[in-house]
Structure 1
Amino acid sequence: MATTLHDDKDVLVGRAERQMGEHFGDSGLTIRQKLALTCRILFDGGHDSGLAGQITARGEEAGTYYTQRLGLGFDEITEQNLLLVDEDLNVLEGEGMPNPANRFHSWIYRAREDVTCIVHTHSLHTAALAMLEVPLVVSQMDTTPLYDDCAFLKDWPGVPVGNEEGEIISAALGDKRAILLAHHGQLVTGGTVEEACNLAILIERAARLQLLAMAAGTIQPLEPALAREAHDWTSSDRRDKANFAYYGRRALRHHPDCVTEGTAL
């Protein structure tokens, strides 16, 4: 006999949140493993653009972070070939050099203590939208984690290898989790690697949906209160972990070499 059919929505939301807390926990993967998996997940998700883009995560010591080696594509990253660098991009662990454009990651990490992971890519549809100098419009339920949470930098500051670009991009990002960079690409941040990976997948999907909708007609806005409700509901840590585990399992089927043999999700 059903007992919840007359429960208020907030009661059902609380029930679902408790259940997610019971069923979805941390994977036990290391930061290196999560980062390597993120590179493969996003490669499969259309974020590949040759050697462009950087995916980073804070290291154990303050002022350090992991990143991929310049010269390797996202589909070549493993937990073993990641670099550990300091804020000046000096290599502390690993062989090779980081992408000089990692410099603006240092600025974001300094400005945002809540950020543990940064994903910056030139994914196809976000790059196309950036060419139009049009902000991201969130008007579909699946992409509501980005509702009122994606900044827009309309003026392209040039190749982001200087400190000036680091100041400009980190200031434009502000307290939001994502930013669309005109004539450039996208950048998302997360308090966890899982969160940043999920947002990177979503921002590319949101840009693709926006371009398709713009070609067909006029995009209609979401009702703000409902959009904010959906943003909060879909932005939980447990949901991030569940999504990442699914994407990770899918990536491991295609790229078993990116983490230590026998790693499972």
Structure 2
Amino acid sequence: MADTLRDPKSALADRARRQMNDHFGDSKLTTRQKLALTCRIAFDGGHDSGLAGQISARGQKPGTYYTQRLGLGFDEITEENLLLVDEDLQVLEGEGMPNPANRFHSWIYRVRQDVNCIIHTHSLHTAALAMLEVPLVVSQMDTTPLYDDCAFLKEWPGVPVGNEEGEIISAALGDKRAIILAHHGQLATGSTIEEACNLAVLIERAARLQLLAMSAGTVQPLDPALAREAHDWTSTDRRNAANFAYYARRALRNHPDCIKGQVDL
């Protein structure tokens, strides 16, 4: 006999949160391992634009962060070939050089102390949307983590290797977790690598959905209250951990070389 069929939605939601806290614990992966997996996850998710794009995560010491080596694609990144750099992009650990465009990561980390991971890519459908100078419109349940959480920079400031671009992009991002950069691509951030990775995967799917919907008719808006409820429901640490673990298992099946040894996911 069912006992919960007349329970209010709030009670069921609280119960589900408690269950997620019980079933999904903290990851045993290192920062390097998470970042290497994120590169492979991004590659498999359509974020494969040659050497374009950067993925980074804060290091243990203030003013440092890990990122990939210029010359390697996302599908070639391992936990061992990542670089540790400072805010001036000087290499502290590893061999090679970072992408000069990492400079705007330094600016974002400076102004957003809540951000611990940045993913910037030129994924196909997001770049196509950016060519239209159209902001992301969240109008489907799966994409609601981005509802009212994706900024838009309409003016392309040029190749982002200068401090000017760092100031422009970090200001345009504001307090949002993601941004569409017109004529450029996308950027997703997170307080954890898992959060940023999930948003990066999602923003490409959202852009693809939007382009498909725009080709068939007019995209209809979500009810703001319900969209905000869905945003908050899907934007928790435990959900991010569960989603990332799934993506990581899939990435390891495709790219078993990206991390060393056995991991429990």
**TM-score normalised by length of structure 2:** 1.00
Shift of 1:27: 1.8
Distance 2:234 2:53 in 1: 26
Distance 1:137 1:254 in 2: 32
Distance 1:19 1:152 in 2: 36
Count of aligned positions: 265
Task: State, as a whole percentage, how many aligned pairs show the same letter.
Answer: 84
Q: Does 1:170 align with 2:161?
A: no
Q: Deviations over 1:175-208 (max 9, x none)?
A: 0000000000000000000000000000000000
Contact 2:187-2:200 at 8 Å conserved across structures: yes
Contact 1:249-1:264 at 8 Å conserved across structures: no
Q: Deviations over 1:6-25 (max 9, x none)?
A: 11111000000000000001
| Partner SS state of residue 257, structure 2 | helix
Q: Deviations over 1:144-200 (max 9, x none)?
A: 000000000000000000000000000000000000000000000000000000000
Distance 1:110 1:13 in 2: 36
**Partner residue of 1:248?**
248
Distance 2:48 2:190 in 1: 20
| Partner SS state of residue 257, structure 1 | coil
Distance 2:214 2:62 in 1: 44
Shift of 1:263: 2.3
**Partner residue of 2:123?**
123
**Partner residue of 1:109?**
109
Letter in 2 for 1:106: S
Shift of 1:261: 2.2
Please list, as runs of the form range in 1=range in 2, the aligned pairs for 1:184-263 lying within 5 A after superposition: 184-263=184-263
Contact 1:153-1:169 at 8 Å conserved across structures: yes
Distance 1:261 1:231 in 2: 36
Q: Deviations over 1:66-110 (max 9, x none)?
A: 000000000000000000000000000000000000000000000
Root-mean-square deviation (CA), in Å?
0.4
Unaligned runs of 5+ in 1: none
Distance 1:46 1:188 in 2: 15
Shift of 1:262: 1.5
Letter in 1 for 2:9: K
Q: Deviations over 1:39-66 (max 9, x none)?
A: 0001000001000000000000000000
**TM-score normalised by length of structure 1:** 1.00
Letter in 2 for 1:18: R
Shift of 1:258: 0.3
Letter in 1 for 2:18: R
Distance 1:111 1:35 in 2: 22
Unaligned runs of 5+ in 2: none
